[in-house]
Structure 1
Amino acid sequence: MVTAKTKIQSIIHYSLFAIHGLVILLLMFPNSDFIYQLISSSQYFREEKIHFLP
């Protein structure tokens, strides 16, 4: 049975994995416009999610 706690733990696990991959990309391509656009778009989506919260 999947509880809310395990679901939150899996979400945290995958988000940490994604952040780790992003850090590796930043180390590989420190002057890449693609990484900058990716970070700015993720910040934009985060702001949109916060905006739509009641």
Structure 2
Amino acid sequence: MKKYIEQFFFMIAVLFIGNRVFNHVDAWLGIAICFGVCYPVINIIKLIIKKHENED
């Protein structure tokens, strides 16, 4: 019986740790996606501004 209790608590601990690691990885993935979308948009806006300044 003690073996099953230890396995149960080990499983709970692994699930908790895995959840924390996944949340951390998921957060960094979200930051990477935001950066990946925002960076090209900012560069395109800069390019448009430079073209507009050169026309004057």
Scaled by the length of structure 2, the TM-score of the pair is 0.48
Structure (1/2) with the larger helix percentage: 2
Larger CA Rg, structure 1 vs 2: 2
Structure with the greater relative contact order (CA < 8 A, sep ≥ 6): 1 or 2? 1
